[in-house]
Amino acid sequence: MTTRTPLMAGNWKMNLNHLEAIAHVQKLSFALADKDYDAVEVAVLPPFVDLRSVQTLVDGDKLKIKYGAQDISAHDSGAYTGEISGSMLAKLKCTYVAVGHSERRQYHGEDDATCNAKVKAAYRHGLTPILCVGEGLDVRKAGEQVPYTLAQLDGGLADVPAEQVESIVIAYEPVWAIGTGEVATPEDAQEVCGAIRGRLAELYSQELADTVRIQYGGSVKSGNIAAIMAQPDVDGALIGGAALDADEFVKIVRFRDQ
């Protein structure tokens, strides 16, 4: 059985300007100790305009916290007003980039083909995609969460070779649990995360599936993280609101103490 290092990533969404970002990362770095980083990989996904400030702080103080972006252009350069390319993110030494977050799918019309193009763009520039998948309430009520989520996974990974996918992170975020305070039960999270791992084994190999980290996201807090992390196929969390509170985020990183 492969041991997967849990990944706790804070998705700040459209919160914290670059000055607030510096203060927040400093607070996290004061609170987190080497033993935390030994047990868990910790990352933040700030807005684009904060990334240079976060990079300067992380480089200058040799912090162990990783960082990345919330989105990436499918294109590498050129006349794409408002877009940010993978090479720009790589230049800022980003490790991760979220792809296909449900808010991008819902408010910016991103479909599986767009997500697939963005996953490929991330790999062209040495970035690790965090591919977000998950069903809405109507799909959940119809009991279709597994096939729906697996179809998103298939679409996002189309024609992406095993040697790239082995480093990917998949975030299972049921839309009905995002920002609502309604967390999926640990069993709900396990059902879909387990199905995602099974699909990776079918598409690639069991060995690859055992290596890939699968996160849960949706109303994660210090009070519910331990039960979610106790599930065999949950390897971390993508945390929204609770990641904006440094003390709370640190407690989530220390889920084993909760």
Across the strands, what pairs with 10?
44, 239
The C-alpha atoms of residue 193 and residue 189 are separated, in whole angstroms, by: 6
Active-site entry in 24, 41, 101, 110 = 101
What residues line the site for ligand 13P (CB under 6 A)? 11, 101, 173, 178-179, 217-220, 238-242
Q: From the CB of 225, what's the least distance to ligand 13P, in Å? A: 11
User: Taking the CB of residue 207, how many other CB atoms lie within 10 A of it?
Assistant: 11
Across the strands, what pairs with 171?
132, 215
Q: From the CB of 86, what's the least distance to ligand 13P, in Å? A: 20
E-only strand ranges, 126-206? 128-133, 169-172
Q: Which is nearer to ligand 13P, 101 or 140 (CB)?
A: 101
Mark whether 101 is an active-site residue. Answer: yes
11 appears as a binding residue in the annotation: yes
Q: From the CB of 180, what's the least distance to ligand 13P, in Å? A: 7
12 appears as a binding residue in the annotation: yes
The CA-atom distances, in angstroms, between 211 and each of 44, 133, 162 are: 22, 18, 11
Q: Which is nearer to ligand 13P, 118 or 204 (CB)?
A: 118
Length reported for the chain: 258
The C-alpha atoms of residue 55 and residue 38 are separated, in whole angstroms, by: 21
86 appears as a binding residue in the annotation: no
Q: And the tokens for 99?
A: 């792809």
Q: Which is nearer to ligand 13P, 156 or 241 (CB)?
A: 241
116 appears as a binding residue in the annotation: no
β-strands 236-239, 7-11: how paired? parallel
Residue 176 identity: W
225 CB-contact burial (10 Å; exposed 0-12 / middle 13-18 / buried 19+): buried
Q: Which is nearer to ligand 13P, 236 or 240 (CB)?
A: 240
Mark whether 202 is an active-site residue. Answer: no
Q: Which is nearer to ligand 13P, 203 or 244 (CB)?
A: 244
Q: From the CB of 60, what's the least distance to ligand 13P, in Å? A: 28
194 appears as a binding residue in the annotation: no
Q: Which residue is nearest to ligand 13P (CB)?
A: 240
Rounded-to-5 percentages of helix, strand, coil across the chain: 50, 15, 35
Active-site entry in 41, 110, 135, 173 = 173
Helix (H, G, I), strand (E, B) or coil at 6: coil
Q: From the CB of 61, what's the least distance to ligand 13P, in Å? A: 26
List active site positions.
101, 173
| Known binding residues for substrate | 11-13, 179, 219, 240-241
| Known binding residues | 11-13, 179, 219, 240-241
